[in-house]
Structure 1
Amino acid sequence: MEYVLTFVNIQHNHAISPSRAKTLKKNRELSLHAKWIDEINDQAGVTIRNTYQSLATAAGDYDKLTFTQKDLWNHVARNVRVIEEEGDAKSLMQYFHRIQEQNRNFFYEVKLDEQHHIKHAFWADARSRATYEYFGDVVSFDTTYLTNRYDMPFGTFVGVNHHGQSLLLGCALLSCEEENSFVWLFDCWIRCMGGKAPIGILTDQCKAMRNAISKSLPMTRHRWSKEAFESSWTDFINRFSLHDNNWFV
């Protein structure tokens, strides 16, 4: 196959910022020193956020760093970020078993590492699964950081009903935010929902998440920002004069 270049548009629709090029994944690099500090601090119980702040202070500013906080996170997560304490892992599994005994429609899956520690966990209750049948056309997926004992990203699938109320459609704990982790999670979620993929999904601008969605949800339309959806929705309402229709506004 051959390609012929017939036209080039050198104009940009935004100001070029060379100083931000280093934040692109291909230009980021975690130095040996940063890796060593990251591992030592993690063993000492120092949070990733505090480690990142201390490294930025030592470098002179955040702009001086060649990596992001997420890079520090993923470095540690690849090796040690698991639910490894016997009591906590056992309690989590006991909780899952107990809830499933009370309601067989409660769904959960866990992924273990080589030492049989819990690396990822996903769960959804019967209400979430039933709700998805009616309001699962468009969902959003988001992760929060550093909000639990193990500093593991907590992911949520959320939908919206016809009253504009948010609906929880599943939860997960992940060891890291890498493509394989998201593929595992999205596959679990689709199995939980009877193999029915949503028409659309909204996420943040995470390349690993985008790649995982293309593999696990190939027929689902993926959009990066909620703001873009809100803007398009407003244009739709204005175009068809739906301001007085309670089903749309």
Structure 2
Amino acid sequence: MIFVKSILIGFFTLYASISVAQTTPTVAAASDLKFALEEIAANYKADKGQDVKLVFGSSGVLWQQVKNGAPFSLLMSADEAYIDDLSKNGLTIDGGSLYAIGRIVLLQKKGNPIKLGIDKESLVNAIQAAKKIAIANPDHAPYGRAAKEYLANMGVWDLAQPKLVYGENISQATMFALTGSADFAISALSLASSPQIQTQSTSVSIPDKLHKPLKQKMALIKNGAPSAKDFYLYLQEPKSQLVMVRYGFVTP
């Protein structure tokens, strides 16, 4: 009897664990969202008593993973084009919604002697003084494409290109600057605005007219956890939007 009771307890414990795993949605999000989204997820837990699993990466890589069947319930891309493509291919519940417009900054570790500025002369001097400059990989990271557009529009792409080191995503590019692997990075304002990074760095905002708008869009993925819809709606509430604004995003 004790043996049977132990089996039953084990079964119900296993069932409960599987049930939680099945109902906890996995949110795949662009790396620029790391600090803002972690705060929103903590608020969601406090307000709703529900957890979400967060996975961060470059939008292009996450987009490809969705196409390959990754078990994500919600994708938050830093480029609306990836969501539009998934929608066109019938992989999302609907066309999704715009949740933010991102900004880029020049960022360096505190104490770095290179002077950063937004005018061309300052930028040229910074590039010439630097040994390495970090940006996200423009092949699949929207913030990397914005960085490339900025350098091209400033007329310094050819000057900077030999010194560029590419991060897999914007978080990794930022870490290159913070660890000294690069003299400075073209980072996301949302990362530069986080207390964790502010204590280690200085940054200069780049005028948004120097690159195409970073229109960031999200959508629910078909066959994802049903509970993801509640978090999707929570992201659009004023409380969540205020968090996004505090991290430097322009919200719809």
TM-score bin, normalised by smaller chain: under 0.3
Larger RCO (CA within 8 A; separation ≥ 6) = 2
TM-score, normalised to structure 2, is 0.27
TM-score, normalised to structure 1, is 0.27
